Structure 1
Amino acid sequence: MFTASLMISAPVVAETFVFTAIPDEDETKLIERFSGMAEYLSQELDVDVRYVPVKSYAAAISAFRNNQVQLAWFGGLSGVQARDLVPGSEAIAQGTEDASNFVSHFIAHKSANLEPMDELSEELRGKTFTFGSKGSTSGRLMPEYHIREAFGEAPDEVFSRVGYSGNHTRTLRLVEAGTYQVGAVNFKVWQKEKEDGNIDTDQVQIIWTTPPYPNYQWTIRAGVNEKFGEGFKERVTQALLDLEDRELLDSFPRTSFIPASNDLYEPIRKVGKEVGILD
């Protein structure tokens, strides 16, 4: 009598591709933006894609280092820090506006009695000032660099009080309310908030803008091809470059994504060392 035997193999468990982003704006905005991005990437890559929010820039870098995420939307500085911790990781795409075209605005409350200036002047001395997150390229690194260049002193020697709001949206609100007289925000947040009618320009205005520098980028973790299959890094890169959903792009806000590389962020590394944030 012939007895058929069935070989039962273990079920195939599909890997989930997980990504995060630095929390540079209000959490509700980020969840809406990156939930849409997860859906788009899942369709393009034909894998389960999940966005994991984090509470700080440091937490985003830690998640990347610990392989809790394989992709991240970093700022210039946080991207350099993350790639240093995971050798072989690569910056693969950036916004059109991020390719050495990014700037930070110094904004001031009307009570500061400051007018737009061509260069940072002594009129700023003694005012109260807020950066964004301590790990932010546009909200801390580049503004601090230019303050040190202009005054030859650290920010806490120039201003009567220095704060760190945590993100660009909060910086804008704190200066708008007069809690701080001056603050540094990235131009994309200012632009989007103004377009949406969320800025009272009777209370706050731009008084100075930094020279341009490279900023945000998508960084992919080393080893994704081994985990998700040969050519996966290239497929992720192409999916980002092919994104044409206007509503999703506007939520960043970016015109489009273009190729990036680690070398493009060497100017950020240089400034980070000069300011003392990077070793």
Structure 2
Amino acid sequence: MRYLLLGAFLMAAQPVGAQTLYFSAIPDDDESRLVERFSAVATYLSETLEVDVQYVPVKSYAAAVTAFANDQIQLGWFGGLSGVQARIAVPDSHAIAQGAEDETFVTYFIANTATGLAASEAFPDIAGRSFTFGAETSTSGRLMPEFWIREETGQAPDALFSTVGFSGDHGQTLRLVASGAYEVGALNYSVYDTAVSEGAPEAEATTIIWQTPPYPDYNWTIRGDVDARFGEGFADRVQAALIGMDDPALLETFPRSAFIAADDALYQPIVDTARALDLID
């Protein structure tokens, strides 16, 4: 029922004169974690910016980009690729912040322990295995792992693996590999590390077999017209609020040690890779 109501909400863009800042985030983890994290962010931003701020959950990466493009949200927590897509869709929008860890993000390739595959510095021999990515437009769950699969093997995933799937999010990738539904998968390192730290049984049933070289990833992107709506300098105030977020408990939910300034130029490697894979024009 909630998503039906949300769908109705997203049918119409907010009027330009609205005094509520709406934001969303790519659904890269379990819904309960996302609601906990971003409800707290909304409270923090409301108090810091002295405007009403509301978090709007969405069901897919594409829905987050569409909501941004349609002015149903004015601020988004995107992955590297979805942030690029959002900024292409809305001229004059900008990346304004990223996690300190997002400068050098990595993807883990994990395998079900029953495969006997072990950690390796060299790209593992996983030809003929069943493999799952995360969401189709996920930077850490699809874009960069596919890039490195092609780079290291010279083959497309469909040619290299016996079966290729898209789980939809990183938590589901971990569950599918742990269950044996897929032998190998690629996911966001922070989701896996959190599962390990929490003693999740899915982490015990899987092992990291390889990690990608680092790349830029998650970012806060804001529409370029927020100053006209909320007042001159509002985008800068949002950036300062995000960078000033220092509550350890709140940061841990991401998990990030801090947020730092970002700009569009940092994500040029993502643009180049996405174009090479024909994921953007």
**What's the TM-score, normalizing by structure 2?**
0.92
Q: Deviations over 1:132-166 (max 9, x none)?
A: 00010000000000001111111010000000000
Task: Give the AA of the match of 2:89.
Answer: L
Stretches (4+) displaced over 3 A: 199-202
Task: Give the AA of the match of 2:262.
Answer: A
Q: Deviations over 1:220-251 (max 9, x none)?
A: 01100000111111110100010111111000
SS of equivalent residue, structure 2 residue 83: helix
* Conserved? CA contact 2:192–2:203, under 8 Å: no
Q: Which has the larger radius of gyration?
A: 1
* Separation in 1, partners of 2:236, 2:110: 40
* Separation in 1, partners of 2:40, 2:196: 23
* Separation in 2, partners of 1:55, 1:42: 24
- Indicate yes or no: 2:61 matched with 1:57: yes
Aligned residue in 1 for 2:11: none
- Indicate yes or no: 2:151 matched with 1:156: no
Aligned residue in 1 for 2:207: 205
* Conserved? CA contact 1:112–1:127, under 8 Å: no
Task: Give the AA of the match of 1:130.
Answer: T
Q: Aligned match of 1:37 in 36, 41, 44?
A: 41
Structure 1 unpaired stretches of 5+:
1-12
* Separation in 2, partners of 1:28, 1:93: 24
Aligned residue in 1 for 2:184: 182
TM superposition shift of 1:200? 4.3
* Separation in 2, partners of 1:59, 1:96: 26
RMSD: 1.0
SS of equivalent residue, structure 1 residue 124: coil
Aligned residue in 2 for 1:10: none
Aligned residue in 1 for 2:110: 107
Q: Deviations over 1:114-134 (max 9, x none)?
A: 11122224x301100000000
Please say which of residues 70-79 and 147-156 is displaced more in the overlay.
147-156
Pairs within 5 Å for 1:6-45:
15-45=19-49
SS of equivalent residue, structure 2 residue 28: coil
Structure 2 unpaired stretches of 5+:
1-16
Q: How many correspondences in the alignment?
A: 265
Q: Aligned match of 1:144 in 138, 146, 150?
A: 146
Identity, % of aligned positions: 54
